[in-house]
Amino acid sequence: MLNHVVIHEKMRKDNKALSGDPAVADLPLGAPSPPPPATGDVASDGYNNVLRDTEGLRELGVTHYRFSISWARVLPNGNTSAPNREGLRYYRRLLERLREVGVQPVVTLYHWDLPQRLQDAYGGWTNSALADHFRDYAELCFLHFCGQVKYWITIDNPYVVAWHGYVTGRLAPGVRGGPRLGYLVAHNLLLAHAKVWHLYNTTFRPTQGGQVSIALSSHWISPRKMTNHGIKECQKSLDFVLGWFAKPIFIDGDYPENMKINLSSLLPGFTESEKKLIKGTADFFALSFGPTLSFQLLDPHVKFRQLESPSLRQLLSWIDLEYNHPQIFIVENGWFVSGTTKRDDAKYMYYLKKFIMETLKAIKLDGVHVIGYTAWSLMDGFEWHRGYSIRRGLFYVDFLSQDKKLLPKSSALFYQKLIEKNGFPLLPENQPLEGTFPCDFAWGVVDNYIQVDTTLSQFTDPNVYVWDVHHSKRLIKVDGLVTKKRKTYCVDFAAIRPQIALLLDMHVTHFRFSLDWALILPLGNQSQVNHTILHYYRCVVSELVHVNITPVVALWQPAAPHQGLPRLLAKHGAWENPHTALAFVEYARLCFKELGHHVKFWITMNEPYTRNMTYSAGHNLLKAHALAWHEYDDKFRQAQKGKISIALQADWIEPACPFSRKDKEVAERVLEFDVGWLAEPIFGSGDYPSVMRDWLNQRNNFLLPYFTEQEKKLIQGSFDFLAISHYTTILVDWEKEDPVKYNDYLEVQEMTDITWLNSPNQVAVVPWGLRKVLNWLKFKYGDIPLYIIANGIDDDPQAEQDKLREYYIQNYINEALKAYILDGINLCGYFAYSFSDRTAPQFGLYRYAANQFEPKPSLKNYRKIIDNNGFPGPETLRTFCPEEFTVCTECGFFHTRKALLAFIAFVFLAFIIFLSLIFYYSKKGRRSYK
């Protein structure tokens, strides 16, 4: 695939005449910021910097360079009788320099720069006589530049010239003449283009061997509803913009039927000879696609109430089918950033990546014949109606500087690498890895809060019923008659067994859920303990252990309506109140005492969300965790032999511009505020991250509390492992591009790579981010045992297949395997999020509807990975992992079946007595007989 850059140069110098372009004619536009020059006269000053610009091209490694010849510079009076020799010498010098650096020129004859004299004398393109003047100008260029140019573009974007130059007046020459005038201008542009093509074809092609086309701009449109009407409206929209010019040239010399039917007398007609003149006058399809037409200059009425989108691949496929599989040369494509953005133009870079990827897909997957790609533009410049309010260059230019030096942006470095690789080759680090996890690896699933259903089975009902067999056919309760109420057992909770059966079907070894503090202690202290709820939780964990599934229990997780706290604690300041930390320890002590014989894997706090947490709340939360850890360590660990830690959310933060030092600093800052805030005191120094403290102090923010030396010792090391939940990766940039998504507090712009796969809730699927965050944690805190305690993605609830989740689980676990095998991460377990849609809608491995659980396809995929303990390959050394069973002194057969054993013992005793009586009486009978 060829790679190109384009620039359009505008400057009045060396006898260049006034132009019909208001920007070039010194008409000031709005007041952008920072204050640049008022007009486009100098801009990046390409006229005086041919060597500078061509060195930029050499640096990028491009093969082609598109630029425009200014008609007003070459022919100041608009005719060939008095050409401007200095102007011709400038373009010849540029072409010679391009030849020296090995770059082929792609030259546009008319990019909206009409000599003012022709505008005044003829009314511009409203007069058909202008076509002959254009032909004469083109002939001069063909003669003067001989065979130096192999790709010629006659006119750039005739839609914009006709509609916004002569109908809306938004662009040069600024005429507001109404639709009829616009269609007349387009008519004349088509005839002018055709005359130039035939001129080159008959007179110059035999000796110069070049190709000629016209640059057509288009949008892409999708049906609002996938109906025949919606599809026809989309076709109409494309006909009114692209087809307006493409159909006469590439099909039959006439306008689209949609236009002729809908516009009636507004649309001029071609004679038969004109149709023959126009038909086939393009040697390739020159396509312009980007923000200028696609989102800024497309009139709403030509969308026909359908949905516009920047889908280059779909447009390329449509052109391929609509216009008989032409060779397509993308002669302009790109995006823009704010005029205040300097060199880290992340938004532009990711749009560029998206468009080039879509082009590659169109070539490889759709069979579209794309012969070249051109990025707009080489350097920042004056952007027509947007002036200096936006920047679209690969190189940054300070318009107010004297030397106008070109400084490569992040997009230029990205484009350079892409050209060097000729696309997007698969990188070794992105290839799937074959291998397995250790035998004791924890395979788990998460249910944030299990549904506590304390409804007992019918056998615990002490009431007596009779069956009304004659009338209602129902059980009728006998009033006043009750039996003795027996003790309840775990089997009496009807909801527990079915859930455990579903877990067994998943083949997981661990199950994580959170206790509900507010249910267990409604008042926040032990003055009122809900023993029924505690008994239910005890039954859940004991039944899990009985089937050899390890319960992983979180004491607290933030949740509505009171942050997961008892109402009274929430009312009195929640975690802002130091008393909450003491109440948490009291609650933790109760849980350790009541459930600790079955639970060997504790989480104090699960995913405290730092982004909406105050510094004082975080301070108290850390102390609460440490106090609970020490409570377990001092009083329960020896007897219960469990482990305990905290679980932190750790999404990866990636610099948006990988070449930018400032973006790397921003990414590290966000990681420290997101993860290090709670991780550093526990797993590191015992104090808050220095990055965090320094940043706040620089901004005179002294709200971050200080720990006493005693508190540091209490908190530091209060862990047995490090548990993280990880869902996605976020890009960060230091440049303020989008004020809505800019965090002024941390001076960071959050964004996403638009080429990334996204979930229905717009969560980016970035598997390699997991491996990066695991390595970052190891680098920061050493070789700590690590658990991925939650990892999952949402899906479309209407879709039967959850293929996105299958892809997500497969690739994220494979990245975890790379971290374990290749990076030496002490990874001990992986937990998929989530168990079912019941408690985490759209995230479940089980679909929940009408009180029924239905496994999704992703469950089968996850089960296969568990059964294989990873991704064994043909050459993977298979390790036999003996099945391990957890010993539970209170979960053995005899302990859990006391009632059954008593019954069996009673039956056995009765049987012995019965046999004894038979033996006694039979012996007595024999004696009597004798």
**If pLDDT is split at 50, 70 and 90, which confidence band does 25 have?**
very low
- Alpha-carbon distance of 607 to 620, in angstroms, equals 15
Q: Which tokens go with 586?
A: 């009291």
- Reported as half-sphere exposure (CB side, CA atoms, 13 A), residue 349 has a value of 30
Looking at the predicted structure, is the pLDDT value of residue 926 above 70?
no
Question: Does position 466 have pLDDT exceeding 70, yes or no?
Answer: yes
Per-residue model confidence as pLDDT tens digits over 214-257: 999 999 999 999 999 999 999 999 999 999 999 999 999 999 99
Structure tokens at 908: 């056995």
Most confident by average pLDDT, 21-35, 179-193, 332-346, 794-808: 179-193
- At 547-598, the pLDDT tens digits run 999 999 999 999 988 999 999 999 999 999 999 999 999 999 999 999 999 9
CA distances from 506 to 502, 512, 867 (A): 7, 14, 10
What is residue 617's predicted lDDT score, i.e. its pLDDT?
Answer: 97
pLDDT band at 928; cut points 50, 70, 90: low
Quick check: 516 pLDDT over 60?
Answer: yes
Which pLDDT value is given to residue 28?
29
pLDDT reported for residue 927: 54
Residue closest to 869 by CA, chosen among 537, 440, 474: 440
Segment among 279-293, 548-562, 827-841 with least mean pLDDT: 279-293
Report the pLDDT value the prediction gives residue 433, as an integer from 0 to 100: 96
pLDDT digits (tens, 9 = 90+) for 138-158: 999 999 998 899 999 999 999
Output the six-digit token pair for 723.
């548990």
pLDDT average, residue stretch 682-695: 97
pLDDT in tens, 521-542: 999 999 999 999 999 999 999 9
pLDDT band at 86 (very low <50, low <70, confident <90, very high): very high
Higher pLDDT, 384 or 844: 844
Q: What is the dihedral of CA 334, 339, 342, 345, to 10 degrees?
A: -30
The CA distances from residue 397 to 126, 352, 391, in Å, are 37, 19, 9
The amino acid sitting at 805 is R
pLDDT in tens, 412-455: 999 999 999 999 999 888 899 999 999 999 999 999 888 888 87
Q: Helix (H, G, I), strand (E, B), or coil: what is residue 612? A: helix
Angle, CA 649 vertex, CA 681 and CA 668 arms, to 5°: 65
Q: pLDDT-based confidence at 6, cuts 50/70/90?
A: very low
How far is the C-alpha of 312 from the C-alpha of 287, rounded, in Å?
A: 10
Rg (CA), the chain: 38
pLDDT of residue 495: 86
pLDDT class of 164 with cuts at 50, 70, 90: very high
Between 894 and 257, the more confident residue is 257
Q: How far is Cα 858 from Cα 69, in angstroms, rounded to an integer?
A: 58
Q: Comparing C-alpha atoms, which of 827, 897, 831, 899 is closest to residue 549?
A: 831
Q: State yes or no: pLDDT of 894 exceeds 50.
A: no
Residue keyed to tokens 């026909």:
304
- Indicate the SS3 state at residue 862: helix
- Confirm if 557 and 607 have CB atoms less than 8 A apart: yes
Give the model's pLDDT for residue 264.
85
Percent of the chain with pLDDT over 70: 89
- Sign of torsion, CA 815 817 818 824? positive
Region of residue 17 (phi > 0: left; psi between -120 and 50: alpha; otherwise: beta): beta
Beta-ladder partners of 758 = 764
Contacts 24+ apart (CB under 8 A), 138-144: 138/109, 138/196, 138/199, 138/200, 139/80, 139/199, 139/203, 140/74, 140/75, 140/80, 140/83, 141/69, 141/74, 141/107, 141/109, 142/199, 142/200, 142/203, 142/204, 142/208, 144/88, 144/92
Whole-number Å distance between alpha carbons of 791 and 622: 24
Q: What is the per-residue pLDDT for 46?
A: 61
Please state, as a whole number, how many other Cβ atoms lie within 10 Å of the Cβ of residue 751.
18
pTM summary value: 0.87
Q: If you ran DSSP here, which 8-state letter would residue 675 be given?
A: I
* DSSP, res 19: B
Element (H, E) at 496: helix 496-506
The pLDDT score that the predictor gives to residue 914 is 72
Going along 319-426, which residue ranges are E strands? 328-333, 337-338, 370-376, 390-391, 395-396, 407-408
Domains of the chain are: 40-422 (3.20.20.80), 442-456+492-871 (3.20.20.80)
Which has the closest alpha carbon to 587: 646, 644, 627? 627
Torsion angle in degrees (nearest 10) through CA of 449, 454, 456, 457: -10
Asked if residue 184 has pLDDT above 70, the reply is yes
- What pLDDT does 389 receive? 83
According to the model, what pLDDT value does residue 880 have?
Answer: 65
pLDDT at position 920: 67
Residue 29 has pLDDT above 60, yes or no: no
* H runs (alpha helix) in 24-146: 50-60, 71-74, 85-100, 116-122, 130-144
Which pLDDT value is given to residue 36? 53
Q: What is the pLDDT at residue 887?
A: 47
CA distance 910 to 895: 23
Structure confidence at residue 295 (pLDDT): 62
pLDDT for 628-684, tens place per residue? Answer: 999 999 999 999 999 999 999 999 999 999 999 999 999 999 999 999 999 999 999
How confident is the model at residue 461, as a pLDDT?
A: 67
Residue 9: which pLDDT band, with cuts at 50, 70 and 90?
A: very low
* The pLDDT value given to residue 889: 47
Is the confidence at residue 512, as pLDDT, over 70? yes
pLDDT for res 296: 73
Q: How confident is the model at residue 5 (pLDDT cuts 50, 70, 90)?
A: very low
pLDDT, tens only, 732-766: 999 998 888 899 999 999 999 999 999 999 999 99
Cα 844 to Cα 859: distance, rounded to the nearest angstrom = 9
pLDDT band at 108 (very low <50, low <70, confident <90, very high): very high
Most confident of 475-479, 696-700, 896-900: 696-700
**What does the mean pLDDT of the chain come to?**
90
CA-CA distance, 238 to 235, in Å (whole number)?
A: 5
